[in-house]
Structure 1
Amino acid sequence: MTGQELRAKFLQYFKDRQHTVVSSYPLVPKNDPTLLFTNAGMVQFKDVFLGDEKRDYSRAVSVQKCVRAGGKHNDLEMVGRTARHHTFFEMLGNFSFGDYFKAEAIQYGWEFLTEVIGLPRDRLYISVFNEDDDAFNIWANEMKLPRERIHRMGEKDNFWAMGPTGPCGPCSEIFIDQGKAIGCGKASCAVGCDCDRYLEIWNLVFMQYDRDASGKLTPLPKPSIDTGMGLERLAAVVQGRTTNYDTDLMMSIINESAKITGRKYGKDDEVNVSLRILTDHARAATFLIGDGVIPSNEGRGYVLRKIMRRALRHGKLLGQKNPFFHKITSKVIEDFKGAYPDLTGNSDFIQRVVLNEEESFSSTLHFGTQRLEEILEKVHKEKLTSIPGEEIFKLYDTYGFPTDLVEETAKDAGLEMDMAGYEKAMQEQKVKASASWKGSGEKEVAPFYKEFAQNSPPTEFDGYKSTEGEAKVLAILKDGAQVDSAKKGDSIEILVDRTPLYGESGGQVGDSGNAFNDGVQIELLDAIKPLPGLIVHKGQVTEGAVATGDSLTLQIDKPTRQNTALNHSATHLLHAALKEVLGGHIKQAGSLVASDRLRFDYTHFSPLTEKERGRVESLVNEKIRENIQVSTNEMEIEDALKEGAMALFGEKYGDRVRVVSVPGFSKELCGGTHVSATGDIGLFRIVSEGGIASGVRRIEAVTGGTAYKKINSEYESLAAIRSILKAPTNEELAKVKKLLEKNRELEKEITSLKQKMVSGSDSSSEDDIRKIGDTSLLIKNLENTDAKTLRTYIDNAKNKLKSGIIVAGSVADGKVAMAAGVTKDLTHRFHAGNIIKEIATIVGGSGGGRPDMAQAGGTYTDKLDEALKRAEEIIKATPE
């Protein structure tokens, strides 16, 4: 039975038992600041379990893509070396939200494994929490399982909690006996043993308690079920494989990795490990990039980079000198496109990101090698026997330089590795990273909002069709606390049963407006959406008083709403235009839709060329001129996706969604407010385009009257330039080009003159050269000289001195530049890189280089002479 068949059978089994099939959640969890990545099937249902979100079903089933890369769940260094450690895996799960409980969950689990999959009953074993008599009795009495195959275990193994407080409960795990041959051989070997004989395949969690801060357990009014079973692990059991890597889910990728690297799988243990790492990490990289994660030096991007660079390192161990990893991700996409169709549309982008990281890593190895050479020189100079652990960690953390490559170099140099120091530095960094991780930036929802949402129906939003409506005040908050009433001058938050004001979400800012009746006037400054279905109005009482239970008329600020609608519809047109001009890899990575502007972040590696920018802008304005009617429809999310509607990365959707379409051009899932026809937008103008992160670009634009003002301002500026240049219309560009070319020629002449001056015979006269013992020293402050000319000066001075040390510096364009040179005969005593590195801190900068040549930059222009003086002190203090 293939992995694809197991996926399908699992979903169908639970669908036949009235479970709603729910698509996999993105690997970047929405609205959960505690998680780097989605690491379990229950993540997308967390708010449902907590009671903060209501769904229109009480049973669900999913196949969830998961990533675990570090922390308590996974040790990255073990991936590829054990049978079942992975960074990426798929989790099968069925869920009950106050519907069925232990008896049905146990029955479903047993029935699926024994009757649908056909696992032998006599090889299945069970664990239950030692105090959970209900679960024990269900297994023994209803499932007819021999009692000796049911094992009671402690809280560590069989009690699950969402956190220190909140929903929790006992769990029951299903194990399969894989036989004595792969066990530890001990007489005490049983369920719970660390060996591979008794393999856990399914965990059934019975959420039946609410734990408070004191540890007290209170039964939940509606107990729930959360189960999880690794697809790869199940496939290994069904297909009779001793490792997950040998299943059909991975073997085709392993074979492709072997083909690409020219190696054979199964012949050599270390080659096997490397091929497994390439396979696992290619799966993780493919899905993470597909869900919008880009390699970087922080947060999720840093974890992805670490995974990819570990794979690239193992590729090099297999002899790969040129980029290869992107070819393996292509195979991953081919294998998984049936289960995850979105991978196909992102194929080009995924491979481009991977190729870019491969090329970047080559550069990393180059600079890391240079730094390693400097460290080795220092180690030999100080007559150490090992490379300091802190230096090994810096190479790894700062340069991404693999520790095993350091180890190889150390062996060649006859040195040991201070791995204890490395581990200490690593642990210190983990503590710092843990302290600095602020999550995804989502704000913690106030307890009052959660409680209100649990006990009240959702706020009814009337704003798609109405700009004014009657509402009843359900609650008033002042300074975060609930109050019965508020008077003139009070800043408040009010919650009502229905509203025409749009609550901030999906990138669109919240509406502003007014609320009033005969006895009160309230200026509504903002509308927010702290939880799905809950709209909160922030405002100030300007006249009279308001109390809970009052009826109010709510009005939106119509001009502001209209301008916001222009920008939101224009954002959809921009998204579609970028896809058409740049390619299908374009994905939204963030947005802001306000009344005066729009901001759109998207995945792309290079800046827009002037031609591309012009095509995008022209295409959007073309669709505006066509005055296409904008349509909105509500439908099931699965139907919307089948029709080609774009689901935006990071957004959290319900089972029924609103689809906004510009027929023939754009179709997106969107809850925002829009124009009736594209012609209402009037005009679209890109204001700026630039990079904000690795692989992520940002466009800022304006529409309507604001766009007209922008273009008019640009025209006025052009007219002023024309006047200054005294250039006829349409000849401005030619005249500017001519002026710039002349300016470049003059700059070259100036540079040439400077170089001639500093390289002249007087630049290193006898008066400038000092003797420190037998060593000649030349220290010079060259005014208004650039870094390139400084280096020329150093080279010329070294040639003239034949033997000596030269340190020179200059202040130009408000910055400090310094350089140092040491003639070859003195590099055994003096290191230009070390000298320059120390004096660079004085001018507020950094630098370094080789023993014979180094340079630095800084910003403290008034400290140059002090830095040059310090250079002389360092040289004087150097022992013979």
Structure 2
Amino acid sequence: MKYMTTAEIREKYLAFFEGKGCKRMPSSSLIPDDPSLLLTSAGMVQFKPYFLHQKELDPAYIGTTTAQKCVRTNDIDNIGDARHLSFFEMMGNFSFGKYFKNEMCAWAFEFSTEVLGLPAEKLYFTVFEDDDETIEIWKSLGVPEDHISRLGEDDNFWRAGPTGPCGPCSEIYFDQGPEVGCGSPDCKPGCDCDRYLEFWNCVFTQFDGQEDGTLAPLLTKNIDTGMGLERIAAIMQGVTNNYDTDVLRSLVGVGERLSGKTYKQDAEVDKSLRIIADHSRSVTFMIADGILPSNEGRGYVLRRLLRRAIQKAHMIGIEGPFLNDYVDEIVELMGSVYPEVVENRELIRRVILSEEERFGATLRQGQVFLAEALDKLEGDTLSGEEAFTLHDTYGFPVEVTEEMCADRNVKVDMEGFERCMDEQRERARAANTKDAEAAWSTYGGIHADVLKEVGATEFVGYSELECAAKVVAIIANGERADKLSAGEEGEIVLDTTTFYAEMGGEVGDTGTLRSAGAEADVLDTKAPEKGLVCHKAKVVSGTIAVGDEVTAAVDGARRARITRNHTATHILHAALRRVLGDHVKQAGSYVGPDRLRFDFTHFEATTPEQLAEVERVANEEIMSAVSTNIYETSLDAARESGVTALFGEKYGDVVRVVECGEFSRELCGGCHVANTAEIGLVKITSETGVGANLRRIEAVTSFGALEYVNKVEAELKETAAELRVPLFDVSERTAANMKALKEFQKTRKAAKTAISDDGVNMLLSAAKQAQGGYPVIISRVKIAQPGAMRNMWDVVRARMETPGAVVLIADNEGKATLLAAGTDEAVAAGFNAGAVIKEIAPCVKGGGGGKPTMAQAGGKDVSGIDAALESARKMLL
């Protein structure tokens, strides 16, 4: 048995089945084209429409073959042992009625023994308990009868759920030798030990499970097989652990270098090194396929894997950001097979770094929570519920919890913790079971039936806005209908259409359908099944029936606005990449007649200067009047030429390229202008954050941009008129007014403080009896401006129980302000404000005067304030 690298095995498998007549197809995205599934966890997912005969394979091929990247986390707690992985590659070959058991078994045996060179005596086979046919096939290939075992439904009958496609399966095992087994004399394939390693499963999908438990034959007998690449690599490389194979062992080596630890010297360290190696592949490929960290769905799975890797790194002494070392190694090891990790390398690195920094803060928060829990603890045991909260809410490793508790002589209720973990696992299993059942469920309902019956709609709308068509189906109120009459709404399906169905962010077209005696307004256009275009329409006159000949006419003016906005989206995308960096990827969009919006990956708010530069670069391209070039090519050729693929988008073998000169080149199925000059102008109206590492831009073009600029100008003119300044002095005058307003608010606040209850009470408590028998207050005060002194006197006068007088002096920004004031009663008793000011003002090198009831003065020397107050006391008391 010759040593083979993972890359060699992968290529030999694909080439082998390609040679048998199967079409080699690329791995599908980890984001399945099926809303019922969270992640792609099996090779068959992308072929679901073929198995259900909603899509037909090119007759030149008898089946397909793939190397499918998969992520599965329902057994996450087992990851790190010899076999379990969250990311794995599944080698598959699939037939949709062209070949079945005889061919599949023969090819599996041929590939195993002749291509891989596995010793036939080391191979063991299991079949479903009553599948005599498959047993005879294996025997006819030379397999000894004692190497074939019958297993029950739990092991060798494949079902996605209680109903739907299903069938018996046959698994191939490799005997790794008694030294890795359980030692039992009854040990055989299916045993839980590691002696017999299952590496290939051939599923014979031939039945349709009914609700009553019966098995009805399917329309065609299908093949769905999977060979675990990591498992067969372990066999071919003579190791009994997936993590000792070439790719994963290289990633374990990264951990050794970062931690300073040596693999296979400490069991706990080894497990952490294996988990980090595994999780690093998952997060790298998930981000490359358009998944970003979040608190729900796929984003939550990604974040959990990221945090679990960070936790394990923490346990073995790896501090600070480290995962990008793994990313670089993964790109080196797997980039030639999966170009998306190369294309999105910078994005992957930035997202991971951001999450590592974010989770570092989370870990610190968890430490604070634990410290508080320990401070409040009564007794010597931390509850399992609190340990689980730390683990689940804060992502705090339970091992770290145990260590911190041990430092304070506290134990952790691990039984309670495991009970909480078991409950969580049950919830996860339930969710994964639901996903698995959904994997084979028939989706699309009535639309899938229509597509199967009438076939795909021919779209001619790239070059024409009006065409002749035939009504081939009508759906109303969720059911098939023969016709729609005036006033009724429904979905009209045509054999040919110029209407673009909502897709890739571009909204669906509107317009009219006209026959000889009827007319309908098309309100929207969608494609509920790939290839099936449904025109949501309301009949305004006459009756439209299945079989009618109609003229399909798109609203041309609306379509023109949409195409301008769509091409502008491509140009803005390219401009953002030039200004902000190649890590920018489009992550969602809306292209309508009124505006455009798209989300893009970036890690901080853009500055006004950056946005202005993006807008300038985009408009420079628009005004260069560059003709767009739109053509179809193979996906591989497009990638090789550097065409930008949209983040998270799924593509077939043949793709449509939209080029705006050398500036922008993207894969896109939407509608576009013939020349960038048709866009006129693009104007960015807003830029905001919509999630971690995700930003959103909104913009308008052509008439929308003109309307926006006119509205801004109108607002500016109105403001200029209110401020009574020239148009371009508005910002300067507004700034000056804002400064004056802030000063006023500051002064008002100081004045309010000065005449607050506390301030007034303090002054009133300082009152003394003057020589004339009236109360007088002589005091230093704080004011914001001279005018505030009079306000202060007004408040004090109103609060005095007996009418009296005041002499107040303040240091107002280095100048002395003096006020003497008295009531009529105080003046009648001998008080004279003017005389007081004349007497005390020279102490502060100032002067002033006034009436007997009120007089003011200012002075240059604030150092004389105390002398002035003393002079007033001598004069009045």
> TM tier, shorter chain?
0.7 to 0.9
Q: Which amino acid aligns with 1:22?
A: M
Q: Which residue of 1 aligns with 2:403?
A: 408
Q: How far does the alpha carbon of each residue in 1:229-279 deviate from its partner, in whole angstroms, 9 at most, with x for none?
A: 111111110000111111111122211221122222222222212211221
Q: Which amino acid aligns with 1:406?
A: T
* 1:52–1:531 Cα contact (<8 Å) kept: no
Q: Which residue of 1 aligns with 2:129?
A: 130
Q: CA deviation at 1:178?
A: 0.2
Distance 1:752 1:39, change over 3 A: farther
Q: Structure 2 CA distance, aligned partners of 1:750 and 1:333?
A: 64
Counterpart selection for 2:55 from 53, 70, 74:
53
Q: CA deviation at 1:763?
A: 13
TM-score by length of 1: 0.81
* 1:29–1:650 Cα contact (<8 Å) kept: no
* 1:292–1:649 Cα contact (<8 Å) kept: yes
Q: Which amino acid aligns with 1:51?
A: H
SS of the aligned residue for 1:187 comes to: coil
Counterpart selection for 1:467 from 440, 455, 465:
465
Q: Which amino acid aligns with 2:504?
A: G
Q: Structure 2 CA distance, aligned partners of 1:316 and 1:8?
A: 37
Counterpart selection for 2:27 from 24, 28, 48:
24
Counterpart selection for 1:585 from 555, 561, 583:
583
Q: CA deviation at 1:663?
A: 2.3
Q: CA deviation at 1:187?
A: 0.7
Distance 1:723 1:424, change over 3 A: farther
Q: CA deviation at 1:731?
A: 4.3
Counterpart selection for 1:312 from 310, 323, 333:
310
Q: Which residue of 2 aligns with 1:498?
A: 496
Counterpart selection for 1:389 from 384, 391, 402:
384
* 2:568–2:701 Cα contact (<8 Å) kept: yes
Distance 1:328 1:739, change over 3 A: farther
SS of the aligned residue for 2:542 comes to: strand
Matched, 1:119 2:107: no
* 1:757–1:763 Cα contact (<8 Å) kept: no
SS of the aligned residue for 2:54 comes to: coil
Q: Which residue of 2 aligns with 1:98?
A: 97
Q: How far does the alpha carbon of each residue in 1:676-714 deviate from its partner, in whole angstroms, 9 at most, with x for none?
A: 111111111111111112111111111110111111222
Distance 1:754 1:178, change over 3 A: farther
Counterpart selection for 1:8 from 4, 11, 19:
11
Q: Structure 2 CA distance, aligned partners of 1:294 and 1:336?
A: 21
The farther-off stretch of 455-464 and 175-184 is: 455-464
Q: Structure 2 CA distance, aligned partners of 1:672 and 1:213?
A: 43
Alignment of 1:177-216 (within 5 A): 177-216=175-214
SS of the aligned residue for 2:392 comes to: helix
Q: CA deviation at 1:104?
A: 1.2
Q: Which residue of 1 aligns with 2:77?
A: 77
Q: How far does the alpha carbon of each residue in 1:349-385 deviate from its partner, in whole angstroms, 9 at most, with x for none?
A: 2111111111111211222122222222222xxx244
Q: CA deviation at 1:651?
A: 2.9
Distance 1:559 1:526, change over 3 A: same
* Structure exhibiting the larger radius of gyration computed from Cα positions: 2
Q: Which residue of 2 aligns with 1:560?
A: 558
* 1:50–1:167 Cα contact (<8 Å) kept: no
Q: How far does the alpha carbon of each residue in 1:706-764 deviate from its partner, in whole angstroms, 9 at most, with x for none?
A: 11111122222233334444454544444444555566677778889999999999999
Q: Which residue of 2 aligns with 1:816?
A: none
* 1:53–1:532 Cα contact (<8 Å) kept: no
Aligned length: 753
Alignment of 1:136-155 (within 5 A): 136-141=135-140, 143-155=141-153
Distance 1:214 1:687, change over 3 A: farther
Alignment of 1:327-726 (within 5 A): 327-379=325-377, 383-426=378-421, 446-726=444-724
Distance 1:217 1:724, change over 3 A: same
Q: How far does the alpha carbon of each residue in 1:106-158 deviate from its partner, in whole angstroms, 9 at most, with x for none?
A: 122111111111111110011111122221111111x1111111111111111
* 1:445–1:530 Cα contact (<8 Å) kept: no
Q: Which amino acid aligns with 2:24?
A: V
Q: Structure 2 CA distance, aligned partners of 1:196 and 1:353?
A: 38
* 2:276–2:309 Cα contact (<8 Å) kept: yes
SS of the aligned residue for 1:41 comes to: coil
Q: Which amino acid aligns with 1:37?
A: L
Q: Structure 1 CA distance, aligned partners of 2:234 and 2:280?
A: 20
Distance 1:508 1:433, change over 3 A: farther
The farther-off stretch of 261-270 and 152-161 is: 261-270
Q: CA deviation at 1:412?
A: 2.5
The farther-off stretch of 354-363 and 739-748 is: 739-748
Distance 1:375 1:761, change over 3 A: farther
Q: CA deviation at 1:656?
A: 2.1
Q: How far does the alpha carbon of each residue in 1:800-858 deviate from its partner, in whole angstroms, 9 at most, with x for none?
A: xxxxxxxxxxxxxxxxxxxxxxxxxxxxxxxxxxxxxxxxxxxxxxxxxxxxxxxxxxx
Distance 1:257 1:430, change over 3 A: closer
Q: How far does the alpha carbon of each residue in 1:387-431 deviate from its partner, in whole angstroms, 9 at most, with x for none?
A: 233322322333222222222222223333234444454566667
The farther-off stretch of 579-588 and 643-652 is: 643-652
Q: Which residue of 1 aligns with 2:820?
A: none
Q: CA deviation at 1:39?
A: 0.8
Gaps of 5+ in 1: 765-880
Q: CA deviation at 1:207?
A: 1.2
The farther-off stretch of 724-733 and 598-607 is: 724-733
Q: Structure 1 CA distance, aligned partners of 2:208 and 2:102?
A: 21
Q: Which amino acid aligns with 2:77?
A: E
SS of the aligned residue for 1:37 comes to: coil
* 1:204–1:228 Cα contact (<8 Å) kept: yes
Q: Structure 1 CA distance, aligned partners of 2:537 and 2:28?
A: 36
Q: Structure 1 CA distance, aligned partners of 2:757 and 2:278?
A: 58
Identical-residue share of aligned pairs (%): 44
Q: Structure 1 CA distance, aligned partners of 2:496 and 2:91?
A: 39
Q: CA deviation at 1:455?
A: 2.4
* 1:327–1:351 Cα contact (<8 Å) kept: no
Q: Structure 2 CA distance, aligned partners of 1:430 and 1:702?
A: 48
Q: Structure 1 CA distance, aligned partners of 2:410 and 2:632?
A: 68
Q: Which residue of 2 aligns with 1:107?
A: 106
Distance 1:751 1:222, change over 3 A: farther
Q: Structure 1 CA distance, aligned partners of 2:169 and 2:89?
A: 20
Distance 1:4 1:668, change over 3 A: same
Q: CA deviation at 1:3?
A: 1.1
Q: Structure 1 CA distance, aligned partners of 2:285 and 2:412?
A: 36
Q: CA deviation at 1:78?
A: 2.0
Aligned-residue CA RMSD in angstroms?
2.8
Q: Structure 2 CA distance, aligned partners of 1:427 and 1:299?
A: 21
Distance 1:223 1:630, change over 3 A: same
Q: Which residue of 2 aligns with 1:35?
A: 37
* 1:511–1:556 Cα contact (<8 Å) kept: yes
The farther-off stretch of 638-647 and 217-226 is: 638-647
Q: Which amino acid aligns with 1:415?
A: V
* 2:716–2:727 Cα contact (<8 Å) kept: no
Q: CA deviation at 1:338?
A: 1.6
SS of the aligned residue for 1:567 comes to: helix
Distance 1:736 1:420, change over 3 A: farther
SS of the aligned residue for 2:617 comes to: helix
Distance 1:755 1:428, change over 3 A: farther
